[in-house]
Amino acid sequence: MQLIKHIKNAELVISAAKKIQWPETTLPEIVLAGRSNVGKSSLINTLVGRKKLAYVGNTPGKTKLLNFFNIDNLYMFVDVPGYGFANTSKSQLIKFGEMMEDYFHYRTQARCLILIVDARHKPTQDDMTMLEFARYHTLPTIVVATKIDKVKSSQQKKALDLISETLMLKDEKLVVFSSETKKGREKLWGYIDEYCGY
């Protein structure tokens, strides 16, 4: 039995368009990334136990901002804009790539990447690219297969194997998750605490 993680305060510190706006803190940071509509905001809200925290400043398809959330003065969550829009222009893609490259390169307090994928689908090339960024910068990654409530029990092993194989997971953790049932919440917090040194 794992204890239930209780968060008292969670607040948006800044939606940063560029590096100079990143908050000056030493809190251990957790980066959360995934395809648009994968369930990232829901996952953040489930982790912190809020209904609407992560919708702030998150306009899909518009300006690409990194949203920094202070969680109980213990963690900083960094919400990366959802990627994988069909109509993303080349210049937007380059900007996004540069923003992430800057982040992985300069943000020394980054402790882990939470890469969110849909348990029902094969991960995409964009997911792989994000994982490779993290591997290149030796940032530990937790892959979260969310919306598992949408996959029949009999199909779950197959779905998870497809994710593991497609992303060629080795050292990365894989957590099965659902924002509907909160499955995986405490396990994910356990890994976050481990990587943050708590």
Ligand X SMILES: Nc1nc2c(ncn2[C@@H]2O[C@H](COP(=O)(O)OP(=O)(O)OP(=O)(O)O)[C@@H](O)[C@H]2O)c(=O)[nH]1
CA distances from 75 to 32, 37, 112, 152, 159 (A): 13, 24, 11, 34, 31
Give 25 or 61: the residue with its C-beta nearer to ligand X.
61
Should residue 59 be labelled a site residue for ligand X when binding is judged by CB under 6 A? no
146: partner contacted, choices ligand X, Mg ion, none (Cβ within 5-8 A by kind): ligand X
Should residue 149 be labelled a site residue for ligand X when binding is judged by CB under 6 A? yes
Residue from 58, 88, 92, 166 in contact with Mg ion (CB under 5 A): 58
Should residue 141 be labelled a site residue for Mg ion when binding is judged by CB under 5 A? no
Taking residue 90's Cβ as centre, other Cβ atoms within 10 Å add up to 7
Should residue 67 be labelled a site residue for ligand X when binding is judged by CB under 6 A? no
Q: Which two tokens stand for residue 24?
A: 């000056």
Q: How far is the CB of 189 from Mg ion (least distance, A)?
A: 20
Q: Which residues pair with 160 in a beta bridge?
A: none
Should residue 186 be labelled a site residue for ligand X when binding is judged by CB under 6 A? no
Residue from 40, 111, 173, 185 in contact with ligand X (CB under 6 A): 40
Q: What is the DSSP letter of 151?
A: S
28: partner contacted, choices ligand X, Mg ion, none (Cβ within 5-8 A by kind): none
